[in-house]
Chains A and B, each alone.
Chain A
């Protein structure tokens, strides 16, 4: 089985721009969650989707949004980028909801200049 695929691998943007990140879960996995990883904060939960519905959202501003499609693929969007948004964005998929093992992608490294 192919693992969780995230594209693009690297992104460089400037302040004020917007960005869209993509995640394809493992085939058959219906839950996709997103995390922001930074050296000082570790992994911070952004949101989780299951069957195209956002089940929970972390403590991030409204500039961070996402969605999930009928094939379970997910996208994450960040508008009006700020320098502090520079981070590694990780996507994880799991078969079901809650208490399930997470399978992570390699991440998208976003740099905001």
Chain B
């Protein structure tokens, strides 16, 4: 079954600490993976996508095909990073996006 698993519902870290939000996927092919973020009272928006290999707001994510993972990382968390994060991929041939259940990141002062 095609699935995205985000095992942590809530992740709390202190400001300046490293952060890693986990994402594992189940898919028979090679998916194009995305991270979307929803800040308080804002719309869900794209944070980064695998294919562009950009670093957005200090976040990076590496696709590990062997472990079927696409974990989101940042070396030094900031308070403004507090938000809901979703990992997702579109299933090829159907144009349907599969989203994980999300991880709420709280960065404590």
Residues of A near any B CB (own CB < 8 A):
3-4, 31, 33, 35, 40-45, 48, 50, 55-56, 58, 90, 92, 97-106
Considering the complex, give the chain A residue whose CB is closest to the CB of B89. A99
Q: Is A43 touching B90 in the complex (CB atoms < 8 A)?
A: no
Number of B interface residues at 8 Å Cβ cutoff, please give it.
22
For residue A48, which residues in chain B have a CB less than 8 angstroms away from its CB? 95-96
Chain B contact surface mostly? strand
| Across-interface contacts of A55 in B (CB, < 8 A) | 94-95
B87 closest partner in A (C-beta): A42
Q: Does B101 contact A98, Cβ atoms closer than 8 Å? A: no
* Central interface residue in A4, A99, A103, by most chain B CB within 10 Å: A99
Stretch of B18-26, B40-48, B58-66, B70-78 on the interface side: B40-48
| B residues neighboring A (CB under 8 Å) | 32, 34, 36, 43-46, 49, 51, 86, 88, 90, 92, 94-102
Give bound CA distance, A89 to B100, whole Å: 16
The residues of A that contact B46 with a CB separation of less than 8 Å are 101-102
Contact check, B96 vs A35: say whether CB atoms are below 8 A apart: no
Q: Which A residues are CB-close (under 8 A) to B101?
A: 40-42
Q: Are B94 and A56 in contact (CB under 8 A)?
A: yes
Docked-complex contact B95 and A97, CB < 8 angstroms: yes
Q: How far is the CB of B72 from chain A (nearest CB, A)?
A: 16
Contact B44–A99 (Cβ < 8 Å):
no
List chain B residues, Cβ under 8 A from A105.
43
A-B contact pairs, 28 of them (CB 8 A): A3-B43, A31-B95, A33-B95, A33-B96, A40-B101, A41-B101, A42-B99, A42-B100, A42-B102, A43-B99, A44-B99, A45-B96, A45-B99, A48-B95, A55-B94, A92-B44, A97-B95, A98-B92, A98-B95, A99-B51, A100-B90, A101-B34, A101-B46, A102-B36, A102-B46, A103-B45, A104-B43, A106-B43
